[in-house]
Structure 1
Amino acid sequence: MPTMSNSQFGLLKERRFLPFFLTQGLGAFNDNVFKNALIVLVTFVMVGLSEDQKHGLTNLAAGLFILPFFLFSAISGQFADKFDKSRLAVAVKVLELLIMLVGVFAFMHQHVPLLLVLLFLMGLHSTLFGPLKYGILPQVLKSEELVGGNGLIEMATFLAILGGTILGTSLIGIPERGAMFVGVCTVVLAVLGLVTAWLMPPTAPVDPESKLDWNLFRATWRSVRELTDNRTVFLSCLGISWFWFFGSIYFTQLPVYTESVLGGSAKVYTMLLAIFSIGVAVGSVLCEKLSGHKVEIGLVPFGALGMTLFGADVYFAWPEAVTARGLGISAWLAMPGAKRVVADLIGMAVFSGFFIVPLFALVQSRSDPKRRSRIFAANNILNAVFMVIASLIAVGLLAKVGLTIPQLLLATAIMNAIVAIYIFTLVPEFLMRFLVWIFINLVYRIDLKGLDNIPDEGPVIVACNHVSFMDALIVGGTVRRPMRFVMYYKIYNLPIINWMFRAARAIPIAGAKEDPEMLARAYQAIDQALAEGEVVGIFPEGQITRDGEINSFRPGIEKILAGRPVPVIPAALRGMWGSIFSRKDSALQRARLPRRFWSRIGLTLDPAWTPDQVTATKLEAKVRELRGDWA
């Protein structure tokens, strides 16, 4: 278990992370103070506006804030890849300060047209900062820190949304001086953001030789098109955009849902908003503990499942509108179903964190470093598109189809299940990792050593001892990069788990006397996988141990390296002998019943060996040494 010193919270003590963390948090906070103060100003403070004018201005404000994401995301991604991200952050914060200085005048004079222009510019500020925000993390964090760092960023983002919403609406509501307080507050926040941005250490440009394309439409089209080059990254970005589709419907409907369906007051709305925001924050930071410091995409289906179940239960907890109106927090919580709605929002929010954080980390870890910011810029475009579509669908289902708000929320949860199943069908690695993650965490506790010895990219062979039927799932489910295992065809063909091996593109192999053609195909597939820069896992013993001892390593590894010399990482599973699925006490060739679940096991990986160092004999000796006496 990580201690506080080496957990994600330890990053908050380091200059490489803390100034950036504060900069992005202050920016998101300021965005929401400004935006919500403007909406409340138009809706509640200004006199002489009709209801149609209020609705029109509110919708215009939402559209103006999101428009820059369509127009300027591609350009901002180019900037973030070409220039030092820390200095670019300073420039963005200078822009924010200038906007807020003008905003003081606009708020004090209730100059709505100017405020709308400034809101558009704040959207531009967020557009410029977005690709920088996610592109910089892999440059300043180690690979094992990515999940924790992203969790902290998502936590800060949702808490900033909450805090900015509460502060903006509270300040603008102060009689006579509310507008002045909002203006001064936004300037102070912008100054603080500029100071923290200035404290960010320099980061090297990842693609300084790239040429800027100033044609907005061509650059946008190219950015989105290039996103599809990496299928896993593209589908992960679609998953992120779906999260914003899902979340925007719940966030958008929450005020009206609270007032007209739940019968709650503005304080109840604020409480529910706080619950949801804090829930996402908690789920985001829990990802590091659940994933064991690695990008665990198995959490994504887990998150989608929770989002669907809790999201659907919001409907069943409170399917019809009540006649009461304006209930305070205590009175509302005393109503039947209120606590269940609160529990559902908490559950949905926490699982949303499980869903979104690994996707961000996955895109960061598997995207081209030279184009990473442009990839996130394209993702921002998709996010904006999905949020607009969500708004249109919500309006259509409510106004045209005649759904109630609870029915709309149920429909959204059902859509979430359908989309999740579709994505996991396209990328079975998500679902496979989920099942492996569940299995490993239910049956075993793993002591990991040397996981960082797996390179972030490039071909490599991982050679491990073979103790149980679950070895491939345990090693493959622990290593961050996808692994293609070479396994005996009879294990590959085992019922129930065969589909997992196929989804992981395992390579079945047979002995030369059993099936020489399968053996030849296996060597060919191994060579092809290494040629494509993949990680290949092998069990050089060729069979599962029957007595707990490591069998002699066969020379197949030498044949592989003769045709394709790549690095080799010796690995040792420890503590598996005697666990469920090993062959101890199994004279009848059955998996014995476990003496206990959640048994402690270990996996140790040695630093990579160069191909010329490797022989079957030396590799066997090293694996024996790594395993030690803990069989």
Structure 2
Amino acid sequence: MAQNQFKLLGTRRFLPLFITQVLAVFSRNMYKNGLIVLLAFRMAEEESNTLINIATGLIILPYFLFSSLAGQISDKFDKRKLIRIYKLAEIGIGIVGIIAMFTQHYALSLVVFFCYGTSSTLFSAAKFSLIPQQLNRSELLAGNALIQMGAFIGTLTGTIVGTILVGFTHPGQHGLTFIAVILIFTAVIGFLASCAIPKAPPSSPKLRINWNPVAHAMRVMYLAWQTPPVFYSIFAISWFWLTTTAFLAQIPNFTRDTLGGNEDIITLLLCCLTVGTALGSLLCNWLSRGRIESGLVPLGAIGITCAGLALGFQSSSFQTLSNANLTQFFNHQGSYLILLYMTLFGIFGGIFTVPLYAMIQDRSSAEIRAQIIAISNMLNALFMVTAALVSITFLDILKISIPKYFVIIALLNLIVVTLIFAKLPEFIMRGLLLLPARILYRASQKGLDQIPREGPALIISNHISFLDPVILADTVERYVRFIAHPKIYKSRLLRCILHMSDAIPIGLDLDDPNSRERTYKAIEESLDNGELLCIFPEGKISEDGELQPFLKDIEEILRRKSVPVIPIALHSADAQDENSAQQSKKKSKRRLFPEVLVIAGQPVESINTDSESLQKKIRDLKKKE
């Protein structure tokens, strides 16, 4: 069962980092949006548009310039000390920003924008690589969910507060003073919170800094490519930011031209999107039972596409209002659906991204984790810029309406994520298992942390039902490739799952004498590639729950390759009931949602064991319950 993720907020391992993150995002967005509103309303339209575009670019530019350096520094030095330095620097940036706003020195304000972007670039690499260093693996998904929630809440509140306070900057009003006080106060509190972060020793203290960002980025991407889940998770996250930016950037024009609403409607839509993303992030821990569950990624991807399509089609039939306020908008037919689809877009966005961040942190080597995260940030920025170019192409050159543009982006999202999932079937397989696994049975587990987190290994399990591959694929966090007996492989019930998991059939063609030899070679090749395999050595389902004789193939498999072998025993509450003294009565009361217990034993080397020894180990595990 998933633990209450909010308990992390009561620990020193997480709370100071969370406070530091939220306040940094809040103050940066308050200043940014406050200044943008000032530029928009205090300058000529052409001048303000130019400065706003330059300001937006200066916030993103540091991600291209300094992400490579940020990752290397975070791996080389103590992350706690680095975060303190970054937060102390933000106090100085805030002071300069206040001076720029009071003196209306817009060139200096642009420098402040660049400095805030640089601080964010450096802090992001340290922050995301610090999370797996401070939290247990079982807390990783919950920690990322809370950080994601905090980031979006900080963005929303900072945007709203900055916009509101700038409205009180006319002669005799004190809006700028309030902004100054809040900016310095949050920066100081953020620095004090960073001082409470526990020590975070460097993961690669002997690292030599590579000052060539392009060469270093290529090297890190090559290292990430050697771990496909990390590599494709990076691209999936970057694509999400392209999609989100494509929608988010159009909200002002969408509100004005399609909905016919005023500035209050813009704020309302931004609230729906932000709150939705925060809710989706928090839902991840519940949906995944607190584990790093890649199966949530397809669910999020499909939800983003469906919400985007629904928003596009609904808004295309929306009767445009005329500078409507909130009351007029709410009284108009279809308004609530617009808000619902915008919220759902955010919810599924949170479900999509949180597991991806957790997978990158969990499966990256600790020595280069911060560097991989930093390069991911660089790609995110590149894709966000690409989103602007895509918007210009469709909206300005091709003259496509914004609702149609939403539909196009939603369909593009489906195509791109499908290509990513095709390269990494783990996403689809675990996604297909997610709902059946939550509906068909109730599973609990013991000792599965003994399964190696990486590298070749072989699971040996007893076989009590056709659901066993589903149960193991769901409860074991690593991607499992099954070795299936022909009767199981040809089962209509399991054929889809086994094909999706690229199962290896044992001697599928019984008339071909070389069929089994091809199977053994396929198993060797899979283990050479560092995969986790699973075999049910009984070859058939045990009707009474007792272990059946193992097939002769298991001896040959054990002999050919030296890898860790993990015995696993599956227990069914129904099977235990049926073996009781009141067997006939219990059969009529078979549970609709059976309880299954998965117990893993100590790993043994394959060359140091045999089928009889493994059978005894599994039998002993079954006796424990």
Can you list the C-alpha shifts for 1:301-351, whole angstroms capped at 9, x where unaligned? 111111111111112222156453332323211110011111111211111
Map residues 332-481 of structure 1 onto 2, 5 A cutoff: 332-481=329-478
The percent of aligned pairs where both chains have the same amino acid is 38
- Report how far residue 515 of structure 1 moved: 5.7
Please give the alpha-carbon distance, in whole angstroms, between the structure 2 residues aligned to 1:207 and 1:197: 22
Match of 2:614 in 1: 619
**Kept after mapping to 1: 8 A contact 2:488/2:494:** no
Cα distance in 2 for residues equivalent to 1:513 and 1:344: 54
- Tell me the equivalent position of 2:595: 600
**Whole-Å Cα distance in 1 between the matches of residues 261 and 332 of structure 2?**
11
Which residue of structure 1 lines up, in the alignment, with residue 23 of structure 2? Answer: 26
3-state secondary structure, aligned to 1:536 = strand
* Maintained 8 Å contact 1:558/1:614: no
Are residues 43 and 513 of structure 1, via their aligned partners in 2, closer, same or farther at CA, if it must alter by over 3 Å? closer
> Which among 137, 142, 156 is matched to residue 143 of structure 1?
137
Q: Which moved more, 1:308-317 or 1:260-269?
A: 260-269
Following superposition, the deviation at residue 475 of structure 1 comes to 0.4
State the SS of the aligned residue for 1:568.
Answer: strand
Matches within 5 A, 1:237-248: 237-248=234-245
The C-alpha deviation readout for 1:84-115, integer Å capped at 9, x for no partner, is 11111111112211111211211111111101
Q: Which residue of 2 aligns with 1:63?
A: 57
Tell me whether 1:170 sits opposite 2:164 in the alignment: yes
Give the structure 2 partner of residue 589 of structure 1. none
- Contact 1:555 1:615 survives alignment (8 Å): no
Q: Deviations over 1:536-588 (max 9, x none)?
A: 21222232213332213456555544443333322122228679xxxxxxxxx
How far apart in 1 are the matches of 2:522 and 2:4? Answer: 40
- More deviation in 495-504 or 269-278? 495-504
> Does 2:267 match 1:273?
no
SS of residue matched to 2:505 = strand
- TM-superposed CA distance for 1:495, in Å, is 4.6
What letter is aligned with 1:456?
R
The structural deviation recorded for 1:529 is 3.1
The alpha carbon displacement at 1:609 in A equals 3.9
TM-score, L = length of structure 1 = 0.91
Alignment CA distance shift 1:303-1:542 (3 Å): same
Deviations along 1:177-222, one digit per CA (max 9) or x if unpaired, are 2223222222211111111111111112111111001233433443
Other-structure match for 2:250: 253
Contact 1:107–1:183 (CA<8 Å) still a contact in 2?
Answer: no
Is contact 2:568-2:601 (8 Å) kept?
Answer: yes
Determine the C-alpha separation between the residues in 2 that align with 1:362 and 1:24: 21
Change (3 A) 1:226 1:629: closer
Q: Which residue of structure 1 aligns with residue 582 of structure 2?
A: none
Give the C-alpha shift of residue 460 in structure 1: 2.5
1:527-566 aligned within 5 A: 527-554=524-551, 556-557=553-554, 559-566=556-563
CA distance in 2, matches of 1:325, 1:453: 64
CA change 1:486–1:423 in 2 (3 A) is same
Following the alignment from structure 2 to structure 1, what is the Cα–Cα distance between the partners of residues 222 and 455? 25
* Alpha-carbon shift at residue 169 of structure 1 (Å): 1.0
How far did 1:477 drift? 2.6
Displacement, 1:360?
A: 1.0
CA contact (8 A) 1:466 1:543 kept: yes
Aligned partner letter, 1:165: T
Paired letter, 1:617:
E
- What is the CA deviation profile of residues 359-395 of structure 1, one whole-angstrom value per residue up to 9, with x for unaligned ones? 1111122222211111111111111111111111112
Residues in 2 aligned to 1:413 and 1:457: alpha-carbon distance in whole angstroms: 35
How many residues end up aligned between the 2 structures?
Answer: 612
Alignment of 1:316-335 (within 5 A): 316-320=313-317, 322-335=319-332
Question: Do 1:137 and 1:149's aligned partners in 2 also have CA atoms closer than 8 Å?
Answer: yes
Q: Shift in Å at residue 228 of structure 1?
A: 3.1
Structure 2 unaligned residues grouped into runs of 5+: 577-586
Segment drifting more, 104-113 vs 209-218: 209-218
Looking at structure 2, the residues matched to 328 and 598 of structure 1 have their Cα atoms a distance apart, in angstroms, of 51
Name the residue aligned to 2:182: 185
Distance 1:328 1:103, change over 3 A: same
Contact 2:80–2:198 (CA under 8 A) maintained in structure 1: yes
Structure 1 residues 390 and 299: alpha-carbon distance in aligned structure 2, compared to 1, 3 A threshold: same
Give 3-state SS (helix, strand or coil) of 2:567's partner. strand
d(CA) in 2 for partners of 1:323, 1:541: 67
Partner of 1:583: none
**Aligned residue type for 1:190:** A
- Give the deviation of 1:56 after TM superposition: 1.0
Q: Which one-letter code corresponds to 1:422 in the other structure?
A: L
Q: In the alignment, which residue of structure 2 is the partner of 1:92?
A: 86
Of 70, 73, 78, which aligns to 1:76?
Answer: 70
> How far 1:121 sits from its partner (Å)?
0.8
Counterpart amino acid of 1:367? S
CA contact (8 A) 1:261 1:320 kept: no
Residue 106 of structure 1 corresponds to 100
Q: Is 1:41 matched with 2:38?
A: yes
Deviation readout 1:116-168 (Å, 9 max, x if unpaired): 11101100011111121221222122222221111111111111111111111
1:196 & 1:361 partners in 2: Cα distance?
24
Task: Compare 488-497 and 467-476 and name the one that shifted more.
Answer: 488-497
* Match of residue 9 from structure 2: 12
Shift of the 183–523 alpha-carbon distance from structure 1 to 2, 3 Å rule, reads: same
CA 420–593 in structure 1, closer or farther in 2 if over 3 Å, else same: farther
CA separation in 2, counterparts of 1:513 and 1:503?
A: 23
| Cα distance in 1 for residues equivalent to 2:446 and 2:279 | 28
Specify whether residues 75 and 304 from structure 1 end up closer, same or farther in structure 2 by C-alpha distance, changes over 3 A only: same
- Contact 1:443–1:599 (CA under 8 A) maintained in structure 2: yes
Letter in 2 for 1:477: D
Q: What is the distance in 2 between the residues matched to 1:293 and 1:498?
A: 29
Shift of 1:626: 3.1
List aligned pairs for 1:307-322, cutoff 5 A: 307-320=304-317, 322=319
CA contact (8 A) 2:574 2:594 kept: no
Structure 2 partner of 1:121: 115
For 1:184 and 1:138, locate their aligned partners in 2 and report how far apart those are by CA, in whole Å: 34
Counterparts of 1:75 and 1:600 in 2: how far apart (Å)? 51
- Hey, what's the Cα distance between the residues in 2 that align with 1:629 and 1:372? 40
Output the CA distance in 2 between the equivalents of 1:304 and 1:122.
Answer: 31
Q: Contact 2:67/2:121 (CA < 8 Å) preserved in 1?
A: yes
Q: For residue 572 of structure 2, what is the aligned residue in structure 1? A: 575
Among residues 185, 201, 205, which one is paired with 1:204 in the alignment? 201
Structure 1 gaps of 5+ residues are 580-591
CA RMSD of aligned residues (A): 2.5
Contact 1:467–1:576 (Cα < 8 Å) also in 2 = no
The amino acid across from 2:385 in the alignment is V
Deviation at 1:622, TM superposition (A): 3.3
